[in-house]
Amino acid sequence: MPLPVHADQAVPVYGNYHGYYSKRPFIQDPRLALLPAEFFVGKRVLDVGCNEGWVTCEIGQSRGARQVVGVDIDDTLIRAAWKRRRTVWSLQSPECGHLREESCPPPKRQRVLGDAPTTDHSAHNYFPASCEHSYGSLPIPNRGCGAFPHNVTFRTVDWVKDEIPDDPNQYDIVLGFSISKWIHLNNKDEGLKEFFYRVHQCLKMGGIFVLEPQPWDTYSKARRMSETLKENAKYLQLRPDGFGELLQELGFSHGQRLGVTGKGGFRRPVDVYLKQR
Amino acid sequence: MTSPSFAFVPRNISKGGKQQGTSAHVPSPESSHSLKLIQTPAIERKSAYPGPSGSDKGKQKVPEPPAKPVYNEKDISILVVLAFSDYALWLDSDLRRKTEESFQGEEQDAGFLPLSYLMRRAFGRENLGQDYMPTEANAVKAIRTYASDVLEVRMLVSAPSASVWYPSWKPERSSIGGYEVRRKDCTTLLDNATREFTRHQWDDRTIYMENIPAQYHTIPGIIRFAQGLLSHSSCLVPIQNVTLPPHHLDKAEDRPKCKGFALVTLSNAELCQVFLESWPWTRSFQPESDDFDLAEGNLETKEASKFGFRTLPKARWDKLNEEYLAYRQKLISELADANEPPDISPDSDVRDVVDDVLEDTPAPLGNATTMYSPYPFGCLVFARNLHLETNKTTLRALFATAFESSLVDPAGIDYVDFNKGMDSCYLRLASPEHGRVLVDRFSSHPVVQSHGLDDRGKTPEASQKAIATEIIEGKKEEVYWEKVPEKVRRQAVEKAVKALNGKQSSSVHTAHEHSEESRPRKKRNRG
């Protein structure tokens, strides 16, 4: 069940942290940086547990995706995600918007692990952040093309249980960044399996699932958040180390580890799975 | 200049063990006006008169819990030093005047200002409640610990006899046992080149900073951060001012919240260069390496890198603001031309934009207030040399005496913008004519208040300063009204327009009388 607007949850039991991105430095998402430049170009992407949409918007603006859908269980976060989309648009250079009128934006050549050309960064962070703050957002014109921000949308949904209209069109890529722990703790083994099954179903053949699972030793702190999580945790038999096997059974390839990002307790691997059957 | 021979007061003179606190003063527009850098960039912007209209009810920004920082000593010292900076002296005419006056008295008093006065300026715009306002004792300790190379503190030991601080009445009781502060460089204070600076010269020393690390999101925090980045500088007071750009939905009395960016005025152009070169506006992103902790630089430098800290000269920032507004206007027109509903999203801001355009008022042309004026023109008067113990009611009656022997409506004072403990106030008048009558009256018949409740005034004695009044016009007037809540401003405009119309015809009153016949008629003029 998606959370109502004024849920005002003191405890983010779904991992639905508010202000997650505001206090952290965010120039470029390090997990996305692990994926090659062409990875998202022209693709339809689903970002599960998108929070305030910072990564979702980056994919839509800077990675050449045809369409990116961000979903989250918390409506407050989704509202913030729409706001983030407006903010990203309001920082973008006017030329950027014009150049991409005719076709999908070709990606700027990006080498893995950064070294992003300065032009990209400067076009995307062209205006001072104070402008939107002091004068209001820039309106988004309807230019009829699929360029950012039109290629980014958000929905409030418990995607483990419910479908959204975009699902049947099938995606090229599904992202599960730092989400598996929360699905697992809230829905137990069955819920997690259901989630993996749904990912498989809504991916095209040859589509890719990018999973950043939290390690098992981080579950102990999370389960102390509420009685429900504490109770659910008792029944968990699946472990993150076993996710790969589950996914293979569903029809995915063997997982390929792209790398590990994050610091300290946030250190997590990023694995990609190809839908083979 | 000899320093005072007494730095500490024997117990039997000071006021017991209780600390001398400063009362929390809600900043009057005067003090916040003089402290706040004109926050609108130096361009004519159509939407210069912010504030949602009544129809914006559903679009207000989410109210945030009041964040009232409790300042540590370092931050207290930073704010007090800032309140007495060269920039503050340049901007704040009241501060400058009082400083100059302090040189006219005894030599030992030269340059000293009451700490309480400085603290009101330092903390006034922070909108702190009584509980959070630091005491004078806190401030003294803070200054002595962190700002002793910049400021000198002494305790006020006895009632000053002919001090210019207490011109015409007995001294404030609370000031005995209080502290006074002066700048250690006070000998050169009045000759400092910055006295003659133009706005442009300060702007040349101002940079825009963005992606300030999250832990420094307060004014003193920003200063600490910036000073950390200037660790090699020998400048005593490198940061002269910090301005937080207000949010477009902020009301006049709202304290702008730091969202990671600020306009920072530095002491000189060289310091600006340090920032602009080390933290340029565009640079290639280096992803965080695992050697972060081993990297060179102090804590501030590392944090700055991590957050993508970048800077821009103010002139360039002004240009980008202009470009943003022009582009915004273009997009609005594009939407209007297309005659389509905007991008499908729960995107209330887009409608806000359209409403704003309709609400836009043209820049003031001429002096006649119309219903479309952003504020009533010529209706603002600034008065000073008031009795420190006076109050609003007294002042209202006192200034209304100006209308007694004239033909204008005696109810000419719309609002007395005054805070207790100040010796000046703003008056919002019902019409420009009232303003002129008032100023004429007080200049041709100078008076002082003999006590706090004196609402008639008496002829000043030789040493006393008469109450001075002046009509505020132009930019100062605009800046004042910008801080007044939208609703109040609108009412003032309506009133001024009515006053204009009332003079031309009595149609307004006719309608009024017809609809409320049972009420006793209001007499328009009493003679």
Model confidence at B455: pLDDT above 80: yes
Residue numbers in B near A133 (CB within 8 A):
245, 247-248, 259, 261
Residues B133 and B39 in one domain: no
Domains and CATH numbers, chain A: 30-83+146-274 (3.40.50.150)
Residue B515 pLDDT > 70, yes or no? no
Same-domain check for residues B192 and B77:
yes
Same structural domain for residues B151 and B230? no
Is position B367 within any domain? no
Distance, in Å, from the CA atom of A119 to the CA atom of B284, rounded to the nearest integer, reads 9
B chain contacts of residue A22, beta-carbon cutoff 8 Å? 214
Weakest-pLDDT range from A18-22, B195-199, B348-352, B511-515: B511-515
- Verify whether the Cβ–Cβ distance A136 to B214 is below 8 Å: no
The pLDDT, as a whole number, for residue B491 is: 85
Q: What pLDDT score does B394 carry?
A: 92
Residue B510's pLDDT is 39
Asked whether residue B395 is domain-assigned, the answer is yes
Over 50: is that where the pLDDT of B14 sits? Answer: no
Question: How far is the alpha carbon of A127 from chain B, nearest alpha carbon, in Å?
Answer: 6
**Residue B257 in domain:** yes
Quick: pLDDT tens for B466-480. Answer: 899 998 888 788 878
At B429, which CATH number? 3.30.70.330
Residue B508 has pLDDT above 70, yes or no: no
Distance CA B152, CA A132 (A): 42
B87 shares a domain with B61: no
Residue B336 counted as domain residue:
no
Q: Cβ separation of A121 and B285 shorter than 8 Å?
A: yes
Interchain CB distance below 8 Å, A142 and B343: yes
- Which has more pLDDT, B163 or B269? B269
Residues 6+ apart with CB under 8 A from B356: A136, B47
Domain count of chain B?
A: 4
Of the candidate ranges A56-70, A100-114, B433-447, B487-501, the one whose mean pLDDT is the lowest: A100-114
- Tell me the chain A residues in contact with residue B340 when contact means C-beta distances shorter than 8 Å: 142
Q: Is there a single domain that holds both residue B78 and residue B190?
A: yes
Per-residue pLDDT tens digits for B72-116: 999 999 999 999 999 999 999 999 999 998 888 888 888 999 999
Nearest CA in chain B to A85: B347
Tokens for B84? 């007495």
> Is A139 in contact with B340 (Cβ distance < 8 A)?
no
Most confident of the following: A200-204, B49-53, B171-175, B458-462: A200-204
Of A28, A136, A140, the CB nearest to B343: A140
B208 plus B156 within the same structural domain: no
Shortest Cα distance from B320 to chain A (angstroms)? 6
Least confident residue range of A34-48, A61-75, B227-241, B329-343: B329-343
Same domain, B150 and B263: no
In percent, the amount of chain B with pLDDT more than 70 equals 69
Domain stop point among B36, B65, B94: B65
Using an 8 Å CB-CB cutoff, list chain A residues near B325.
135
Is the domain of B189 the same as that of B232?
no
Please measure the distance between the N-terminal and C-terminal CA atoms of chain B and give it in whole angstroms: 59
Q: How far is A67 from chain B (nearest CA, A)?
A: 15
- Is there a domain that residue B357 lies in? no
Helix (H, G, I), strand (E, B) or coil at A242: helix
In a domain, B350, yes or no: no
Q: Are residues B238 and B267 in the same domain?
A: yes
What is the DSSP secondary structure assignment for residue B488, as one 8-state letter? H
Q: Which of B286, B311, B20, B61 is nearest to B157 (CA)?
A: B20
Q: What is the pLDDT of residue B354?
A: 46
The full DSSP string for B222-241 is HHHHHHHHTTT---SS-EEE
Question: Domain range for residue B60?
Answer: 1-65
Tell me which of B293, B317, B341 is where a domain ends: B317
The predicted pLDDT at position B443 comes to 84
pLDDT band at B129 (very low <50, low <70, confident <90, very high): low
Are the beta carbons of A139 and B353 separated by less than 8 Å? yes
Task: Calculate how close chain A gets to B91, using CA atoms only, in Å.
Answer: 23
For residue B53, list chain A residues with Cβ-Cβ distance below 8 A. Answer: none
Inter-chain residue contact A133 with B247, CB threshold 8 Å: yes
Does position B329 have pLDDT exceeding 80, yes or no? yes
Structure confidence at residue B431 (pLDDT):
87
B286 interfacial to chain A (CB closer than 8 Å)? yes
User: Are B28 and B137 in a shared domain?
Assistant: no
- For residue B302, being part of any structural domain is answered with yes
Q: What is the pLDDT along chain A (277 residues), one digit of tens a residue?
A: 676 544 445 789 999 999 888 878 888 899 999 999 999 999 999 999 999 999 999 999 999 999 999 999 999 999 999 999 999 999 999 987 654 444 444 444 433 333 333 345 679 999 999 999 999 999 998 877 789 999 999 999 999 999 999 999 899 999 999 999 999 999 999 999 999 999 999 999 999 999 999 999 999 999 999 999 999 999 999 999 999 999 999 999 999 999 999 888 889 999 999 999 9
Integer Cα distance of A52 and A18 in angstroms: 8
Q: What's the angle, vertex CA A29, arms to CA A28 and CA A32, rounded to 5?
A: 115
Task: Bin B267: left if φ > 0, else alpha if -120 < ψ < 50, else beta.
Answer: alpha
The ipTM estimated for the assembled molecules is 0.88
For residue B429, give how far its alpha carbon lies from the nearest alpha carbon of chain A (Å).
30
Residues of A in contact with B288 (CB under 8 A): 30
Q: Does one domain contain both B397 and B453?
A: yes
Q: Does B259 touch chain A (CB under 8 A)?
A: yes
* Domain limit, last residue, from B177, B196, B215: B196
B307 touching A (Cβ < 8 Å): yes
Q: Which two structure tokens, joined as six digits, stand for A187?
A: 């829905």
Q: Are residues B77 and B190 in the same domain?
A: yes
Which tokens go with A8?
């005002």
From the list A23, A130, A140, the residue facing B245 with the nearest CB is: A130
- Please give the structure tokens belonging to residue B187: 């000998």
Helices (H), chain A: 54-62, 75-91, 94-99, 118-124, 129-135, 180-202, 219-223, 227-233, 243-250
Please tell me if residue B47 touches chain A, with a CB cutoff of 8 Å.
yes
pTM over 0.90: no
Using a CB–CB cutoff of 8 Å, tell me whether B301 touches chain A: no
Cα gap A30→A35, rounded to integer Å: 9
